[in-house]
Amino acid sequence: MSQPVVPSRTRADGEKLSVTLERGGPDGASYRQTFDVPAYDKQTVLDVVSWIQQNADPSVSYRFACRVGMCGSCAMMVNGVPRWTCRTHVSKVAKGGAMELAPLRNLPVIKDLVTDMDAFFDKWGAAEARHHPSQTRDDPIAAIDPDSPERQIADAAIECINCAVCYAACDTVAGDPDYLGPAALQRAWTLYNDAKEADPEAVLDAVTAKGGCHSCHSIGSCTAYCPNALDPVSAIAGLKRASAKRFFGARKR
């Protein structure tokens, strides 16, 4: 039996949220604009931005797709902290009924809350974070033991949704535009440990070049803010260890 659809209702007390958006594009100076938004009992930060765009100012630009924490497109700075907005409840982040939203840090702004994520994705390529196949489609499928320690390490980060929250949290990215950043390096660590990866040494070459894993100061903001509870700082530490071991002659295979 299907559930009846209950329209979400505003709170009985008619409370409003005061939501300040940082707006503007690459050409104009950014400015702040505050909106009064009706408070709902269950309401995400993304709901709030959608309400503003649909009811108060249709020119507000923002980005989302899945609304369920899968696509990684909705991240913004919420009260100065990078967060996935579709799965962040207003009740957890609003302070005294107020909230400040800004585009993701460390990325160029296209307009309002939309950032240009090219640099973020390009760095995945620069980290050689792409699979180098070890077999062709004609070979039998390689059996991988999911419980093997190596596979466990490789599995640790496969839930990354490319949301760039860690990238926005990282102070090293803020200070060094060439730094590859936590997500790309973590992806490289995953590949490096993947038994099906044909060229782990090429991955290690890429991540030990300038701007690679050795630029990381182990501040751990990436791990503190990753919405999927992933641990890029430990992955990067793994790359540092692998590069040190290689310096003393060890090879992956």
Interface residue list for other proteins (CB under 8 A)? 77, 79-81, 169, 171, 217-221, 223-225, 231, 233-234, 237-238, 240-241
Rounded least distance, CB 153 to other proteins, Å = 9
C-alpha to C-alpha distance for 67 and 54, rounded to whole angstroms: 16
Q: Name which of ligand FES, ligand SF4, other proteins, none residue 230 binds, using a CB cut-off of 5 to 8 Å depending on partner kind.
A: ligand SF4
Single out the residue of 233, 239, 240, 242 in contact with ligand SF4 (rule: CB under 6 A). 233
Nearer to other proteins, 40 or 213 (CB): 213
Single out the residue of 103, 182, 212, 238 in contact with ligand SF4 (rule: CB under 6 A). 182
**Does position 170 bind ligand SF4 by CB under 6 A?**
yes
Number of residues that bind ligand SF4 (CB under 6 A): 26
Question: Which DSSP string corresponds to the chain?
Answer: -PPPPPPP-B-TT--EEEEEEEE--SSSPPEEEEEEEE-BSS-BHHHHHHHIIIII-TT-----S-SSSSS---EEEETTEEEEGGG-BHHHH-BTTEEEEEPPTTS-EEETTEE--HHHHHHHHHTT-S--BSS-TTSPPPP--TTSHHHHHHHTTTT-----HHHHH-HHHHH-TT---HHHHHHHHHHHT-TTBS-HHHHHHHHTSTTSGGG-----HHHHH-TT---HHHHHHHHHHHHHHHHTT----
Q: x/- contact string, 132-161, with ligand SF4 (CB under 6 A)?
A: ----------------------------xx
| Dihedrals phi, psi of 36, to nearest 5 degrees | -95, 125
**Does position 228 bind ligand SF4 by CB under 6 A?**
yes
Residues 42-71 that bind ligand FES (CB under 6 A): 64-67, 69-71
Q: Name which of ligand SF4, ligand FES, other proteins, none residue 130 binds, using a CB cut-off of 5 to 8 Å depending on partner kind.
A: none
Single out the residue of 186, 203, 212, 240 in contact with ligand SF4 (rule: CB under 6 A). 186
Q: Name which of other proteins, ligand SF4, ligand FES, none residue 241 binds, using a CB cut-off of 5 to 8 Å depending on partner kind.
A: other proteins
Which residues have C-beta within 8 Å of that of residue 114, sequence separation ≥ 6? 61, 62, 63, 103
Rounded least distance, CB 8 to ligand SF4, Å = 28
Give the binding site for ligand FES (CB under 6 A). 64-67, 69-74, 84, 86
Give the binding site for ligand SF4 (CB under 6 A). 160-166, 169-170, 172, 182-183, 186, 216-222, 226, 228, 230, 232-233, 236
